[in-house]
């Protein structure tokens, strides 16, 4: 580190989430953090801080600093809403029944196709602001409500445009294999041809997606169809991830893990074999407790087995108009503990280090460490255990994106 830095944060405790520092939080008590050029240049115990002058010094007043939060699975950009389905489900209809009757994802497809790019942008803004106010600094956004080239492109461009105007990094994922569009009714294989031959190549040409996702389920696509999407993504050099084993067990998780998927998401119904395949291939388990809660599911993902096998566990909102209309990653941390049995430290790892890994960003985000971008959140709390436990009143005292104070 040089003797001069842009910003010095001192008199704080750091939950670095660095796995090389013992304890679940990688905690450094009474720490200091120096930032230059938007990057952390030094972090450690304050007493070891090298002699330096800083353009700006912030007194952390004994609060806790964490990495900026990473929401690694969202469907943030969509048209319309599905509040009427809530009443139907409360009346006893299942998510699948609503979907099979033309509601569900297809209802959002109609609204998203009908919306202009401008309308989609403005509809997404309040959801994005809610996440940013909680300290999210990296976010994934999926397409998947177009199911035709133009609307898929419209969603992905909207996601890219949001990133130009807000202090957040947005990673985009093409989820064209989300549901069968009505014009392909009874012709799922032909729709997969369209995805592979037209949609994904066009998205790749415009560099609009950082990854490819798919929904493998009886109300969506078969394991074989998803395998074809994976093959074609790999030809285009795009990493893959999958919505799998949300409502039933299909073997999609093993298939995706063996194909090197960055993550498989939902996974309430995975088997021991799936867990082994994930462990072997370094595939992250992305748990989505908000969807589990919203759909009033009862089968919980096998957290003990994932833990015992050393699979990285991430947590995300899955923010979408159907299975999780909840724009709060902090609430997901709480649900991850209360509904799925994560520890508070696992919940924080799930929205930082492991979430970054689920996006293929494992070595550049989600940890406070010298050399990494200074995405950081300062929280007025006495212990990081409060983050997963308390909800509603505990808000960031300061949010830094690339070293800039962007507190909402």
Q: Which residues are annotated as a binding site for 4-imidazolone-5-propanoate?
A: 82, 145, 178, 246, 323
Cβ-based neighbours of 94, under 8 Å, separated by 6 or more:
none
Q: Which residue lies nearer to ligand NIG by CB, 36 or 173?
A: 173
36, 66, 143, 320: which one contacts ligand NIG (CB under 6 A)? 320
- When asked if residue 85 is in the footprint of Fe ion (CB under 5 A), the reply is no
Kindly state the tokens that stand for 85: 């389905």
Q: Which residue lies nearer to ligand NIG by CB, 5 or 287?
A: 287
Number of residues that bind ligand NIG (CB under 6 A): 13
> Cα dist. 276→272, 283, 330, 373 in Å?
6, 10, 29, 33
156, 291, 315, 329: which one contacts ligand NIG (CB under 6 A)? 291
Do residues 167 and 132 touch, judged by C-beta distance below 8 A?
yes
- When asked if residue 105 is in the footprint of ligand NIG (CB under 6 A), the reply is yes
CA distance 89 to 208: 35
First to last CA, the chain: 30
- When asked if residue 245 is in the footprint of Fe ion (CB under 5 A), the reply is no
Stretch of 37-45, 102-110, 183-191, 227-235 lying at the interface with ligand NIG (CB under 6 A): 102-110
- When asked if residue 40 is in the footprint of ligand NIG (CB under 6 A), the reply is no
Contacts (CB under 6 A) with ligand NIG, residues 117-176: none
* Residues in the annotated binding site: 73, 75, 82, 145, 178, 243, 246, 318, 320, 322-323
Counting every residue written for the chain, the total comes to 408
DSSP type of residue 299: P
CA distance 75 to 326: 11
- The b/e string for 334-348 (b: 16+ C-beta within 10 A; e otherwise) is bbbbebbebebbbbb
| Helices then strands, each counted (H, E), the chain | 16, 16
- When asked if residue 77 is in the footprint of ligand NIG (CB under 6 A), the reply is no
134, 210, 318, 375: which one contacts ligand NIG (CB under 6 A)? 318
**Per-residue contact track with Fe ion, 287 to 326, x per CB under 5 A?**
-------------------------------x--------
68, 103, 181, 322: which one contacts ligand NIG (CB under 6 A)? 322
DSSP type of residue 320: B
CA distance 50 to 48: 6
Do residues 156 and 203 touch, judged by C-beta distance below 8 A?
yes
Q: Which residue lies nearer to ligand NIG by CB, 217 or 385?
A: 217
Cβ-based neighbours of 210, under 8 Å, separated by 6 or more:
171, 172, 173, 238, 239, 359, 360
The least distance separating ligand NIG from the CB of residue 309, rounded to whole angstroms, comes to 24
- Torsion sign (Cα): 95, 97, 100, 103: negative
The least distance separating ligand NIG from the CB of residue 265, rounded to whole angstroms, comes to 7
64, 215, 221, 400: which one contacts ligand NIG (CB under 6 A)? 215
Return residues touching ligand NIG (CB under 6 A).
75, 104-105, 108, 215, 243, 246, 291, 318, 320-323
Q: Can you give the binding site for Fe ion, defined by CB under 5 A?
A: 318
């Amino acid at each position: 580190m040089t003797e001069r830095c842009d910003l010095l944060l001192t008199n704080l405790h750091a939950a670095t989430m660095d796995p090389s520092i013992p304890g679940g939080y990688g905690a450094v008590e009474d720490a200091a953090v120096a930032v230059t050029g938007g990057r952390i240049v030094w972090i450690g115990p304050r007493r070891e801080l090298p002699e330096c002058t800083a353009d700006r010094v912030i007194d952390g007043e004994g609060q806790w600093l964490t990495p900026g939060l990473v929401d690694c699975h969202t469907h943030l950009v969509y048209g319309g809403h599905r509040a009427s389905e809530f009443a139907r489900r409360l009346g006893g209809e299942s998510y699948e029944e609503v979907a099979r009757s033309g509601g569900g994802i297809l209802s959002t497809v109609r609204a998203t196709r009908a919306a202009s790019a401008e309308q989609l942008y403005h509809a997404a803004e309040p959801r994005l602001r809610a996440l940013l106010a909680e300290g999210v600094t990296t976010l994934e956004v999926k397409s998947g409500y177009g199911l035709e080239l133009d609307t898929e492109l419209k969603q992905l461009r909207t996601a890219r445009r949001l990133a130009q105007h807000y202090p957040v990094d947005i990673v985009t994922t093409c989820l064209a294999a989300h549901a069968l569009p009505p014009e392909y009714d009874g012709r799922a294989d032909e729709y997969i041809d369209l995805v592979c031959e037209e949609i994904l190549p066009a998205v790749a040409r415009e560099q609009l997606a950082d990854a490819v996702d798919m929904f493998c389920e009886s109300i969506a696509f078969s394991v074989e169809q998803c395998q074809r999407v994976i093959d074609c993504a790999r030809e285009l050099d795009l990493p893959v991830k999958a919505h799998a084993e949300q409502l039933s067990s299909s073997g999609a998780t093993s298939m995706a893990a063996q194909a090197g998927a960055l993550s498989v998401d939902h996974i309430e119904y995975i088997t021991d074999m799936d867990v082994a395949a994930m462990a072997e291939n370094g595939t992250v388990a992305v748990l989505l407790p908000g969807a589990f809660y919203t759909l009033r599911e009862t089968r919980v993902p096998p957290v003990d087995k994932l833990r015992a096998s050393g699979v990285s566990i991430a947590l995300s909102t899955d923010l979408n108009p159907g299975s999780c209309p909840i724009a709060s990653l902090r609430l997901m941390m709480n649900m991850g503990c209360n509904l799925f049995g994560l520890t508070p430290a696992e919940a924080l790892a799930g929205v930082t280090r492991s979430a970054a890994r689920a996006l293929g960003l494992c070595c550049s985000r989600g940890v406070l460490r010298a050399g990494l971008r200074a995405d950081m959140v300062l929280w007025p709390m006495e212990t990081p255990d409060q983050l997963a436990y308390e909800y509603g009143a505990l808000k960031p005292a300061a949010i830094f994106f690339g070293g800039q104070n962007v507190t909402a």
